[in-house]
């Protein structure tokens, strides 16, 4: 058994929100939006440069270029900024309820004990464990997760965690 106690910081909460969003966004969506954005930028730029039109047409071409740039930047720049902003606001409002956690890792289950609730999760009911750069996300189903900041683990404890839960783990 491995027991960890920690206080959830704002940075922990923001990192887990970003890593959860990154994991939950299908790569196909990112690729499709990126390609559509590049096509829009290319078509808008070509039309702007080669078609002599009225100011209204030029404005339309500029809007097409800006829409394409928005699409290209959405998943890499815009969405992370929105997620971070939302996570910070949520943390600041609910800081008392997020508070401290105690986690016990057994060979066959995970227990997460917080001030207002506890979770006893047998390994067979773990949907997936996603290891991000800053946190471990233990998914109960496709959307519901519990996070464990990697900063609270020693390297040996992290290796032990990976070996015990290897069948559930995926990299983010």
Q: What is the CATH number of the domain that holds 155?
A: 2.30.29.30
The domain tally of the chain equals 2
pTM over 0.85: no
Same domain (yes/no): 90, 50: yes
State pLDDT tens for residues 10-44.
999 999 999 999 999 999 999 999 999 999 999 99
Residue 6's nearest CA partner among 155, 171, 147, 164 is 147
Structure-token pair, residue 58: 């030029």
Q: What residues make up the domain containing 118?
A: 2-9+97-171
Confidence of residue 1 (pLDDT cuts 50, 70, 90): confident
- Domain end residue (candidates: 96, 113, 147): 96
Same domain (yes/no): 20, 89: yes
The separation between CA 108 and the C-alpha centre of its own chain, rounded to angstroms, equals 27
State pLDDT tens for residues 119-155.
888 888 888 889 999 999 988 888 888 889 999 999 9
């Amino acid at each position: 058994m491995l027991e960890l106690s920690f206080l959830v910081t704002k940075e922990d909460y923001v990192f887990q929100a970003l890593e959860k969003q990154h994991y939950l966004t299908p790569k196909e969506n990112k690729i499709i939006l990126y390609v559509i954005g590049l096509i829009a930028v290319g078509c808008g730029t070509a039309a702007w440069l080669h078609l002599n039109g009225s100011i209204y047409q030029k404005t339309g071409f500029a809007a097409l270029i800006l829409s394409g740039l928005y699409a290209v930047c959405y998943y890499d720049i815009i969405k992370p900024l929105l997620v971070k902003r939302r996570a910070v606001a949520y943390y600041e409002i609910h800081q008392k309820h997020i508070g401290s956690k105690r986690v016990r890792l057994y060979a066959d289950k995970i227990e997460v004990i917080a001030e207002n609730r506890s979770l006893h999760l047998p390994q067979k009911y773990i949907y997936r464990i996603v290891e991000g750069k800053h946190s471990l996300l233990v998914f109960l189903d496709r959307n519901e997760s519990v996070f464990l900041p990697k900063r609270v683990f020693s390297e040996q404890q992290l290796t032990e965690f990976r070996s015990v839960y290897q069948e559930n783990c995926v990299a983010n």
